[in-house]
Amino acid sequence: MQPVSVATLNAAANAVHDALGPGLSEVIYQTALAIDLRKRGCMVEAEVVIPIAYQETYVGFVRADLVVNQCTVVEVKAVAKITEAHMLQLENYMRWLPRNRMFQGGGGQGAVINFGKVVSVIGSVANPEAAAEGDEDGELTAEEDEGELAPPSAQHKAP
Give domain limits for the chain. 6-157
What is the structure's pLDDT at 144?
29
What is the structure's pLDDT at 158?
41
pLDDT band at 126 (very low <50, low <70, confident <90, very high): very low
Q: What are 60-115's pLDDT values in tens digits?
A: 999 999 999 988 999 999 999 999 999 999 988 888 886 555 554 555 789 999 99
pTM for the predicted model, two decimal places = 0.75
Evaluated on CA atoms 26, 31, 34, 40, the torsion sign reads negative
> 145 in helix, strand or coil?
helix
Least Cα distance to 110 among 56, 64, 55 occurs for 64
What is the structure's pLDDT at 139?
37
